[in-house]
A and B are shown apart, each in its own frame.
Chain A
Amino acid sequence: MSELKPIKGKIFTLPFFILLILSAIALVFIIKRFMYGLGAVSNLSDGYPWGMWIVYDVVTGTAIACGGYAMAILVYVFNKGQYHPLVRSALLASMFGYTLASVSIFFDVGRYWQMYNIFLPWYSNTNSVMFEVAACIATYILIMWLEFSPAFFEKPGSEKTLKKINSVMFIFIALGVLLPTMHQSSLGSLMIIAGDKLSGLWQTGFLPLLFLISAIMMGFGMVIFESLFSSVTLKRPLETPLLAKLSGVIPKLLIAFLIIRFGDLIFKGKLGLLFNFNLQSLMFIIENLLFIYPLIILSSQEKRNQSKCLFLSAASLVLAGSVYRFDTFLIGFSPGVNWHYFPSFAEIMITIGIISVEIMAYLIFIKTLPVLPDVKHA
Chain B
Amino acid sequence: MPKVFNTLSNQGQGEKSPEIKGIARRDFLKFCTITAASLGLPLNMGQAIADTITSKKRPPVIWVHFQECTGCTESLLRGTHPTIEHLILDLISLDYSETLMAAAGHQAEAALHKSIKENEGKFILVVEGSIPTKDNGVYCKIGGKTALSILEDIAPKAAAIVAIGSCASWGGLQSSKPNPTGAKGVPEIITDRPVITLPGCPASPYNLLSTVLYYLTLKKLPQLDDKGRPKFAYGTLIHDNCERRPHFDAGRFALKYGDEGHRQGWCLFQLGCKGPETHANCPVQLFGDVGSNAWPVGTGHPCFGCTEKGIGFEKPLHQTVDSVTPPLTYPKVGGTQQGKGMNAGGAAIAGVVAGAALTAGIKVTKALKEEETNS
Residues of A within 8 A of B (CB): 43, 45-48, 228-229, 232-233, 238, 306-308, 311-312, 315, 336-345, 347-349, 352
In the complex, the answer to whether B340 meets A43 with C-beta atoms within 8 Å is: yes
Which B residues are in CB contact (< 8 Å) with A47? Answer: 338-339
CB distance from B160 to the nearest CB of A (A): 45
Query: When the two chains form the complex, which single residue of B335, B341, B347, B368 contacts A228, counting CB atoms closer than 8 Å?
Result: B368
In the complex, the answer to whether A342 meets B347 with C-beta atoms within 8 Å is: yes
Query: When the two chains form the complex, which single residue of B334, B337, B345, B369 contacts A340, counting CB atoms closer than 8 Å?
Result: B337
Cβ proximity bits B338-354 to A, threshold 8 Å, 1 near / 0 not: 11111101111110010
In the complex, the answer to whether B368 meets A232 with C-beta atoms within 8 Å is: yes
Give the 4 A-B residue pairs with the shortest CB-CB distance, closest first: A345-B345, A337-B334, A340-B341, A45-B339
In the complex, the answer to whether A348 meets B349 with C-beta atoms within 8 Å is: yes
CA distance A229 to B335 in the complex (A): 48
In the complex, the answer to whether A348 meets B343 with C-beta atoms within 8 Å is: no
In the complex, the answer to whether B353 meets A348 with C-beta atoms within 8 Å is: yes
In the complex, the answer to whether A238 meets B371 with C-beta atoms within 8 Å is: yes
CB distance from B214 to the nearest CB of A (A): 35
In the complex, the answer to whether B339 meets A48 with C-beta atoms within 8 Å is: yes
**B191 at the A interface (CB under 8 A):** no
CB distance from A283 to the nearest CB of B (A): 15
Residue of B nearest to A229 (CB): B364
Which B residues are in CB contact (< 8 Å) with A352? Answer: 349, 353
In the complex, the answer to whether B349 meets A45 with C-beta atoms within 8 Å is: no
Query: When the two chains form the complex, which single residue of A307, A341, A343 contacts B371, counting CB atoms closer than 8 Å?
Result: A307
Which B residues are in CB contact (< 8 Å) with A311? Answer: 364-365, 368
The interface size of chain B toward A, counting residues with CB under 8 Å, comes to 27
Which B residues are in CB contact (< 8 Å) with A45? Answer: 338-340
Which B residues are in CB contact (< 8 Å) with A312? Answer: 365
CA distance A312 to B363 in the complex (A): 12
CB distance from B360 to the nearest CB of A (A): 8
Instruction: Sample 10 A-B pairs with CB under 8 A, ordered by A number.
Output: A43-B341, A45-B339, A228-B368, A306-B372, A311-B365, A336-B333, A337-B335, A340-B338, A340-B341, A348-B353
16 other contacts beyond A45-B339, A308-B368, A340-B342, with CB at 8 A cut-off? A43-B341, A228-B368, A232-B364, A232-B368, A307-B371, A307-B372, A311-B364, A315-B361, A336-B334, A336-B338, A340-B337, A341-B340, A342-B343, A342-B347, A345-B348, A348-B346
CA distance A229 to B334 in the complex (A): 47
**B13 at the A interface (CB under 8 A):** no
Residue of B nearest to A235 (CB): B367
Which B residues are in CB contact (< 8 Å) with A308? Answer: 365, 368-369, 372
Which B residues are in CB contact (< 8 Å) with A229? Answer: 364
In the complex, the answer to whether B338 meets A339 with C-beta atoms within 8 Å is: yes
Interface residues of B in 305-359 (CB under 8 A from A): 333-343, 345-350, 353
Which A residues are in CB contact (< 8 Å) with B338? Answer: 45-47, 336, 338-340
> A48-B339, A336-B334, A338-B338 given as contacts; is B368 within 8 A of A343 (CB)?
no
Which B residues are in CB contact (< 8 Å) with A337? Answer: 333-335
CA distance A340 to B337 in the complex (A): 7
Residue of A nearest to B349 (CB): A348
Which B residues are in CB contact (< 8 Å) with A343? Answer: 346, 350
CA distance A238 to B371 in the complex (A): 9
A-B CB pair tally, cutoff 8 Å: 84
In the complex, the answer to whether B369 meets A344 with C-beta atoms within 8 Å is: no
In the complex, the answer to whether B368 meets A307 with C-beta atoms within 8 Å is: yes
Which B residues are in CB contact (< 8 Å) with A341? Answer: 339-341
Which A residues are in CB contact (< 8 Å) with B337? Answer: 338, 340
Quick one: which of A47, A342, A349 has the most chain B CB within 10 A? Answer: A342
CB distance from B365 to the nearest CB of A (A): 6
Residue of A nearest to B342 (CB): A342
Which B residues are in CB contact (< 8 Å) with A349? Answer: 349
CB distance from A355 to the nearest CB of B (A): 9
CA distance A315 to B338 in the complex (A): 35
Residue of A nearest to B344 (CB): A345
Residue of B nearest to A42 (CB): B340
Which B residues are in CB contact (< 8 Å) with A46? Answer: 338-339
Which B residues are in CB contact (< 8 Å) with A336? Answer: 333-334, 338
Which A residues are in CB contact (< 8 Å) with B364? Answer: 228-229, 232-233, 311
Which A residues are in CB contact (< 8 Å) with B369? Answer: 308
In the complex, the answer to whether A344 meets B340 with C-beta atoms within 8 Å is: yes
Which A residues are in CB contact (< 8 Å) with B341? Answer: 43, 340-342
CB distance from B311 to the nearest CB of A (A): 39
CB distance from B245 to the nearest CB of A (A): 21
In the complex, the answer to whether A342 meets B372 with C-beta atoms within 8 Å is: no
CB distance from B335 to the nearest CB of A (A): 7
CB distance from A71 to the nearest CB of B (A): 21
CA distance A116 to B367 in the complex (A): 47
CB distance from A118 to the nearest CB of B (A): 27
Which A residues are in CB contact (< 8 Å) with B371? Answer: 232, 238, 307
Residue of A nearest to B341 (CB): A340
CA distance A352 to B346 in the complex (A): 12
In the complex, the answer to whether B340 meets A340 with C-beta atoms within 8 Å is: yes
CA distance A300 to B81 in the complex (A): 72
In the complex, the answer to whether A232 meets B340 with C-beta atoms within 8 Å is: no
CA distance A238 to B375 in the complex (A): 11
In the complex, the answer to whether A348 meets B350 with C-beta atoms within 8 Å is: yes
CA distance A343 to B344 in the complex (A): 11
In the complex, the answer to whether A338 meets B346 with C-beta atoms within 8 Å is: no
Which B residues are in CB contact (< 8 Å) with A338? Answer: 334-338
Which A residues are in CB contact (< 8 Å) with B345? Answer: 344-345
CB distance from A256 to the nearest CB of B (A): 27
Which A residues are in CB contact (< 8 Å) with B336? Answer: 338
Quick one: which of B334, B337, B345 has the most chain A CB within 10 A? Answer: B345
Which B residues are in CB contact (< 8 Å) with A348? Answer: 346, 349-350, 353
Which A residues are in CB contact (< 8 Å) with B350? Answer: 343, 348
Which A residues are in CB contact (< 8 Å) with B333? Answer: 336-337
Which A residues are in CB contact (< 8 Å) with B339? Answer: 43, 45-48, 339-341
Residue of B nearest to A232 (CB): B367
Quick one: which of A232, A233, A312, A340 has the most chain B CB within 10 A? Answer: A232
CA distance A347 to B349 in the complex (A): 10
CB distance from A196 to the nearest CB of B (A): 16
Which B residues are in CB contact (< 8 Å) with A339? Answer: 338-339
CA distance A345 to B342 in the complex (A): 10
CA distance A337 to B333 in the complex (A): 8
In the complex, the answer to whether A344 meets B343 with C-beta atoms within 8 Å is: yes
CB distance from B24 to the nearest CB of A (A): 33
